[in-house]
Amino acid sequence: MSDHSLETDLAPAGTVAVVGASAPLGEIQTEEAQKSSFYESGLEVEVRSQWTYARRRFFRHRLAVASLVVLTVILLAGAFASWVAPYPYDGIDLDAAGTAPTLSGGHIFGTDLLGRDYFSRVIYGIRTTERVAFLVAILAVVIGTGIGMVAGYYGRWVDNGLMRITDLVLTLPGLAVLLTAAAFLGKGSPYRVAVILALLFWTTLARLVRGQFLSLREKEYVDAAKAAGAGDLRIMFRHMLPNSLGPIIVFGTLILGIAILTEAALSFLGFGIQPPTPALGKLIADGQDVSQSMWWLVLCPGLTIVLIVLCVNFVGDGLRDALDPTQRIRA
């Protein structure tokens, strides 16, 4: 007679059923012993197997994997912009002014009125974008998760209060608030912009995490942990958070994409990152005045943004299938 450990990714939060007694036939473990060995060993097996299973699932998605590769290339190009870009960001070359994109001659994205190579400018823009976007995503995730955890775990009054605050933030139109904040608080530094963006994006994530924690709270292993004397923080971080990581990660990638688009909109309108820091939105804005004749100044940076966000979304989709296969993410 063998004993089985079943992995099921059908059960919420990847609970593992340990079936069959590991004790020899006839011996009955005391209920406490059973519970604690199940609890301790079950949890370890669960976390390990869930990740390997998820990784396998992710790599089955060719589109997601391809997007990940493309994204890595782009991000590296941005990070090492000064080496990758063929021309300097402000390299004025009046002789080559206003040329359309050509494959030969080194101006893949064409040049603007001042002869600056747009491909290089775009690469520098990517560098700024990736800094801001990652910062926004990380901040929003940290804040949102923190608040969501507290709201979901403690419930009742704490939950109510925090959710009212989120509601309040949501009654204000996002972009408008961002613009207002940016207009008055000072545009300029990418880090300031990132912080402002993060302060708006945390709300939906907080709702998501809160929902997760509210339902996880009812799980038996939480009771078991409490009975074993674990403190609140330990329970939240060690037991509940790992089970919520799936949707959080997926939502994080969503936020990443939205952050990129929003930052671009802000710098396009002139309220985001200010020159001389390169910004993709600004590049498009620069091209707006001469868009009739030099349409590539609008097309190329835009296509770049589309490509980046597309890849981010595909990766996010792949992650969702890998980490959250049967449930829809509910905010």
For other proteins, the binding residues (CB under 8 A) are 1, 4, 19-20, 164, 167-168, 170-177, 179-181, 183-185, 257, 261, 264-265, 268-271, 281, 284, 288, 291-292, 295, 298-299, 302, 305-307, 309-310, 313-314, 328
Residue closer to other proteins by CB (options 36, 180) is 180
**Distance in Å, CB of 270 to other proteins, minimum:** 8
DSSP string, 202-217: HHHHHHHHHHHHHHHT
Nearest to 130 by CA among 77, 52, 60: 77
Question: In this structure, what are the phi and psi dihedrals at residue 26, rounded to the nearest 5 degrees?
Answer: 95, -25
Question: Which is nearer to other proteins, 4 or 62 (by Cβ)?
Answer: 4
Contact 201, 255 (CB under 8 A): yes
Both ends of the chain: CA-CA distance in Å?
A: 45
Smallest separation, CB 264 to other proteins (Å): 5
Structure token pair of residue 281: 């939105």
Please state whether beta strands 16-19 and 4-7 pair in parallel, antiparallel, or not at all (unpaired): antiparallel
Nearer to other proteins, 152 or 302 (CB): 302
CB-nearer residue toward other proteins: 240 or 278:
278
DSSP 188: B
Nearer to other proteins, 164 or 238 (CB): 164
Residue closer to other proteins, measured from CB, 17 or 228: 17
**In whole angstroms, what is the distance from residue 129 CA to residue 106 CA?**
24
CB of 116 to other proteins, least distance (A): 20
Determine contact, residues 190/133, Cβ cutoff 8 Å. Answer: no
Question: Is 203 exposed, middle or buried (CB count within 10 Å of its CB: 0-12, 13-18, 19+)?
Answer: buried
Contact of 266 with 183, CB cutoff 8 Å: no
Smallest distance, Å, CB 225 to other proteins? 29
Q: How far is the CB of 302 from other proteins (least distance, A)?
A: 4
Residues 6+ apart with CB under 8 A from 258: 201
The nearest distance, CB 328 to other proteins, in angstroms, is: 6
Which residue from 256, 265, 267, 262 is spatially nearest to 311, judged by alpha carbons?
A: 256
Residue whose CB is less far from other proteins, 36 or 274: 274
Closest distance between other proteins and the C-beta of residue 262, in Å? 9
CB 246 within 8 A of CB 186: no
